[in-house]
């Protein structure tokens, strides 16, 4: 058992409440289900669907992939709901990975989440925004990179000045994404009713493994949605909320893909860097295209803003066990951010944007960079559920995932399969990059440990000297 194992208070989580703390205003299953939709739906569906179309090449396979993705995300969310209530922590997976596997794996997760997952996600979102803007204002790769860099710098500056988008603003912007997806469905119905012919099916495709990497990218908020389990009135409400919320998200994604396929066909979907804008242009002309581009750009900005907030919390969590990182993880309550963490995120994101700009598709390059590391830790998190049920049976569990450990087995197997698919997809070079980032994390941890040890020895020496003087 880890030395840090203990009560939630030891980890500085001040928003954890028990049953007695929820009160009459705690959200019920309907309200919680709506929050789940807001935490999962993002900008990925507006770009990753094209990669799924290219990988599969036929409408039935595309629909099957998005439906399977919804089921995998639901299984994962239910597993995370138990883990996050039993081992609450501001760093999310960090706490229960530490409990299940020890300090080293937990540190590598925090390191990878901050230096790989969040930074690649930020660059990826910037590319989504510029890909859509380019449908209105033609831009070369250098111009797209400049716009993406400017967006990251601007949002970083707004966060540092305490002018980031508020929680209420985030809710409004998530509602905008949902409206945009429903508008896509309406456009598809309009085109279907007008008898517009759909383009032909693509003859070549990569396979389901590659498709699922991009499908699950769009479902990526499912693990964050599980944190609602500490807030609902009754434990069973989180099951209803997650099932209902994930069903709604899956339905929205199927509607969006139906619109893409109706308007563009698999070949047209695969060829488009901005499929939602292409659908709206075909249905409603330039006005529809402009409206969709505006919605997607605003959505990417909102999600990028959220990444800056969560990234700071990750470093704050790491700093609790690694004092040498305390300065990076120091939280500014007045501005609601960790300023040094925001600067670090911006500094790490900008080179990724420049790298992506030199490749044929910056969005896909960022997915390739992130996917193996991301799915490695999701697989470990899924396997942590049965491990901790055995190892930490003494820990109270306000919520217990239904059908566990079968549910954990299903999610872990699916996550592991996607992890393997991501390694096959990126090839030897991509795997080498992922391994290198983990290796750098190990070296960093060793250096920080030596720094901590040297500091402790120095303090002991100073104490001994003082004793001799006395």
- What is the pLDDT at residue 418? 96
Peptide bond connecting 405 to the previous residue in cis, omega within 30 degrees of 0: yes
Q: Please state, in angstroms and rounded to a whole number, the distance separating the CA atoms of residues 88 and 227.
A: 9
Nearest to 410 by CA among 30, 172, 22, 76: 76
CB 209 within 8 A of CB 417: yes
Question: Tell me: the pLDDT tens digits for 248-297?
Answer: 899 999 999 999 999 999 889 999 999 999 999 999 999 999 999 999 99
As a three-state string, the secondary structure of 260-319 is HHHHHHHHHHHHCCCHHHHHHHHHHCHHHHHHHHHHHHHHHHHHHHHHHHHHHHHHHHHH
Q: Can you list the residues of the chain whose pLDDT is less than 70?
A: 1-33, 35, 38, 90, 163-171, 195-206, 225-235, 312, 336, 451-470
- What is the pLDDT at residue 231? 59
253 to 45, 74, 184, 293, 415: CA distances (angstroms): 7, 14, 10, 18, 20
Q: H-helix or E-strand containing 43?
A: none
Residues 6+ apart with CB under 8 A from 225: 35, 36, 39, 40, 77, 80, 242, 245, 246
To 5 degrees, how large is the angle CA 44–CA 200–CA 52? 20
Residues 6+ apart with CB under 8 A from 143: none
- DSSP character string of 198-232: PPPPPS----HHHHHHHHHHHTTTHHHHGGGGGTS
Provide the 8-state DSSP code for 377: H
Q: H-helix or E-strand containing 91?
A: none
- What is the pLDDT at residue 17? 36
């Amino acid at each position: 058992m880890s030395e840090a194992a203990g009560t939630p208070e030891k980890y500085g989580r001040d928003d954890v409440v028990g049953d007695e703390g929820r009160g009459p205003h705690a959200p019920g299953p309907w309200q919680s289900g709506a929050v789940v939709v807001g935490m999962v739906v993002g900008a990925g569906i507006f770009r990753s669907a094209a990669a799924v179309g290219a990988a599969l090449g036929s409408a039935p396979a595309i629909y099957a992939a998005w439906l399977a993705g919804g089921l995998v995300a639901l299984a994962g969310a239910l597993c995370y709901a138990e883990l996050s209530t039993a081992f609450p922590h501001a760093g999310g997976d960090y706490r229960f990975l530490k409990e299940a596997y020890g300090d080293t794996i937990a540190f590598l997760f925090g390191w990878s989440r901050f230096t790989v997952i969040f930074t690649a996600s930020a660059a990826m979102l910037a590319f989504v925004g510029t890909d859509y803007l380019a449908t209105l204002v033609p831009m070369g790769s250098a111009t797209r990179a400049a716009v993406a860099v400017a967006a990251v710098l601007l949002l970083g500056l707004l966060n540092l000045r305490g002018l980031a988008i508020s929680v209420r603003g985030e809710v409004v912007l998530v509602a905008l994404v949902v409206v945009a997806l429903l508008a896509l469905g309406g456009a598809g119905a309009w085109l279907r009713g007008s008898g517009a012919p759909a383009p032909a099916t693509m003859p070549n495709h990569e396979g389901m493994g590659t498709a699922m990497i991009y499908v699950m990218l769009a479902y990526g908020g499912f693990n964050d949605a599980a944190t609602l389990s500490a807030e609902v009135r009754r434990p069973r409400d989180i099951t209803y909320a997650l099932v209902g919320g994930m069903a709604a998200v899956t339905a929205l994604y199927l509607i969006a893909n139906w619109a893409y396929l109706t308007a563009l066909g698999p070949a047209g979907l695969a060829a488009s860097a901005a499929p939602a804008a292409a659908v709206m242009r075909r249905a409603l002309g330039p006005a529809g295209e402009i409206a969709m581009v505006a919605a997607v750009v605003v959505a990417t900005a909102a999600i990028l803003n959220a990444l800056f907030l969560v990234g700071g919390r990750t470093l704050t969590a790491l700093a609790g066990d690694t004092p040498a990182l305390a300065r990076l993880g120091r939280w500014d309550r007045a501005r609601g951010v960790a300023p040094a963490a925001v600067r670090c995120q911006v500094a790490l994101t900008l080179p990724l944007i420049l790298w992506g700009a030199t490749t044929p598709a910056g969005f896909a390059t960022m997915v390739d960079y992130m996917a193996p590391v991301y799915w490695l830790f999701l697989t470990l998190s899924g396997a942590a559920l049965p491990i901790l049920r055995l190892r930490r049976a003494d820990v109270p569990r306000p919520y217990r995932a239904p059908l566990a450990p079968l549910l954990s087995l299903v999610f872990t197997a699916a996550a592991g399969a996607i992890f393997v698919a991501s390694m096959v997809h990126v090839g030897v070079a991509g795997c080498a990059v992922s391994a290198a980032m983990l290796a750098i994390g190990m070296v960093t941890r060793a250096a920080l440990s030596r720094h901590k040890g040297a500091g402790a020895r120095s303090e002991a020496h100073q104490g001994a000297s003082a004793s001799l003087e006395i």
